[in-house]
Structure 1
Amino acid sequence: MAALDVIPVVALVALLVTAYSHPRGRVEAGVGLAAAAVTLATGILSWSDVEDTLRHLGPVVVFLVTILVVADVCGRAGLFTAAAARVRDLGHGRPVPIFTGVFLLAAAVTAVLSLDATVVLLTPVVVAAAVATGTSYRPGVHACLRMANSASLLLPVSNLTNLLAMPHLDLTFGGFALVMAPVLAVVLVVEYVALRLLFRRELAAEPELAGPTERPDLPLVPLVVVLAMLAGFALVSPFGIEPWVVSLAAAVVLVAWGRSRGLVGVGEAVHAAHPAFALFVLCLGIVVAALAAGFLGDWVTDLVPDGTGFVSLLGIALLATLLANLLTNLSATLLVVPLLAPLGDTAVLAALLGLNIGSGLSYTGSLANLLWRRGMVRLQHPPSMREFHRVSLIVTPISLISAVAVLSLVT
Structure 2
Amino acid sequence: MKTALIGAGLAIIGLVAAVVGILSPQALLELLDRVAPVLGFVIGLTIVADLAAEAGLFSWLAGIAARFSLGRVWVLWLLVVVLALLCTIFLSLDTTAVLLTPVVVLVARRVGASPLPFAFTTVWLANCGSMLLPVSNLTNLLAVHALGSPHPLDYAALVAPAAAVSVLVPLVAIAVRYRRELAATFTPVPVDAAADPVLFRVSAIVVVLLVPALVTGVAVWIPAAAAALVLIVTFALRRREALRLTLVPWGTLLFASGLFLVVAAAQALGLARVLGDVVGTGDSFGDLLRLSGGAALSANVANNLPAYLALEPVGGSPLRLVAILIGVNVGCIVTPWASLATLLWHGRLTGLGVEVPWGRFALAGLLITVVALPLAILALTFA
TM range (shorter): over 0.9
Question: Which stretch shifts more, 387-396 or 53-62?
Answer: 387-396
Q: Letter of the aligned partner of 2:256 in structure 1?
A: V
| Residues 1:86 and 2:80 aligned together | no
Q: Letter of the aligned partner of 2:139 in structure 1?
A: T
> Which residues in structure 2 correspond to 1:174-323 (within 5 Å)?
174-205=153-184, 207=186, 212-216=189-193, 219-235=200-216, 237=217, 241-262=218-239, 265-266=242-243, 268=244, 270-323=245-298
Question: 1:178-197 CA distances to partner (integer Å, 9 max, x unpaired)?
Answer: 22233322332222222100
Aligned length: 378
Q: Letter of the aligned partner of 1:50 in structure 2?
A: L
Instruction: Give the whole-Å Cα distance in 2 for the aligned partners of 1:189 and 1:263.
Output: 42
Q: Letter of the aligned partner of 2:345 in structure 1?
A: W
- The residue aligned with 1:330 is 305
Q: 1:91 to 1:387 in 2, by over 3 A?
A: farther
Instruction: Give the whole-Å Cα distance in 1 for the aligned partners of 2:122 and 2:297.
Output: 23
Q: Letter of the aligned partner of 1:328 in structure 2?
A: N
| Residues 1:132 and 2:105 aligned together | no
- The residue aligned with 1:348 is 321
5+ residue gaps in structure 2? Answer: none
Q: Letter of the aligned partner of 2:259 in structure 1?
A: L
Q: Is the 8 A contact 1:115 1:148 kept in 2?
A: yes
Instruction: Give the whole-Å Cα distance in 1 for the aligned partners of 2:328 and 2:300.
Output: 9
TM-score by length of 1: 0.86
- The residue aligned with 1:368 is 341
| Residues 1:400 and 2:366 aligned together | no
Q: 1:264 to 1:404 in 2, by over 3 A?
A: farther
Q: 1:303 to 1:165 in 2, by over 3 A?
A: same
Q: Secondary structure at the match of 2:21?
A: coil
Question: Which stretch shifts more, 134-143 or 248-257?
Answer: 248-257
Q: 1:392 to 1:280 in 2, by over 3 A?
A: closer
Instruction: Give the whole-Å Cα distance in 1 for the aligned partners of 2:154 and 2:351.
Output: 40
5+ residue gaps in structure 1? Answer: 1-17
Question: 1:362-400 CA distances to partner (integer Å, 9 max, x unpaired)?
Answer: 212111111111111111112122331342122222122
Instruction: Give the whole-Å Cα distance in 2 for the aligned partners of 1:220 and 1:185.
Output: 32
Question: Which stretch shifts more, 247-256 or 173-182?
Answer: 173-182
1:173 to 131, 152, 156: 152
> CA-atom RMSD, angstroms?
2.1
Q: Secondary structure at the match of 1:93?
A: coil
Question: 1:144-187 CA distances to partner (integer Å, 9 max, x unpaired)?
Answer: 00011011101100110000111100322110112223332233
- The residue aligned with 2:352 is 379
> Which residues in structure 2 correspond to 1:110-125 (within 5 Å)?
110-125=88-103
Q: Letter of the aligned partner of 2:191 in structure 1?
A: E
- The residue aligned with 2:44 is 66
Q: 1:212 to 1:151 in 2, by over 3 A?
A: closer
Instruction: Give the whole-Å Cα distance in 1 for the aligned partners of 2:241 and 2:281.
Output: 51
- The residue aligned with 1:38 is 16
Q: 1:28 to 1:389 in 2, by over 3 A?
A: closer
Q: Is the 8 A contact 1:77 1:263 kept in 2?
A: no
Q: Secondary structure at the match of 2:191?
A: coil
Q: 1:183 to 1:67 in 2, by over 3 A?
A: same
Instruction: Give the whole-Å Cα distance in 2 for the aligned partners of 1:265 and 1:108.
Output: 26
- The residue aligned with 1:11 is none
How far off its partner does 1:92 sit? 2.7
| Residues 1:106 and 2:79 aligned together | no
Q: 1:310 to 1:216 in 2, by over 3 A?
A: farther
Identity of aligned residues (%): 32
Q: Is the 8 A contact 1:71 1:117 kept in 2?
A: yes
Instruction: Give the whole-Å Cα distance in 2 for the aligned partners of 1:194 and 1:295.
Output: 40
Q: Is the 8 A contact 2:94 2:126 kept in 1?
A: yes
Q: Letter of the aligned partner of 1:309 in structure 2?
A: S
Q: Secondary structure at the match of 1:35?
A: helix
Instruction: Give the whole-Å Cα distance in 2 for the aligned partners of 1:89 and 1:119.
Output: 23
TM-score by length of 2: 0.92
Q: Letter of the aligned partner of 2:162 in structure 1?
A: V
Q: 1:395 to 1:337 in 2, by over 3 A?
A: same
Q: 1:354 to 1:221 in 2, by over 3 A?
A: same
Q: Is the 8 A contact 1:96 1:203 kept in 2?
A: yes
Instruction: Give the whole-Å Cα distance in 1 for the aligned partners of 2:119 and 2:286.
Output: 34
Q: 1:223 to 1:338 in 2, by over 3 A?
A: farther
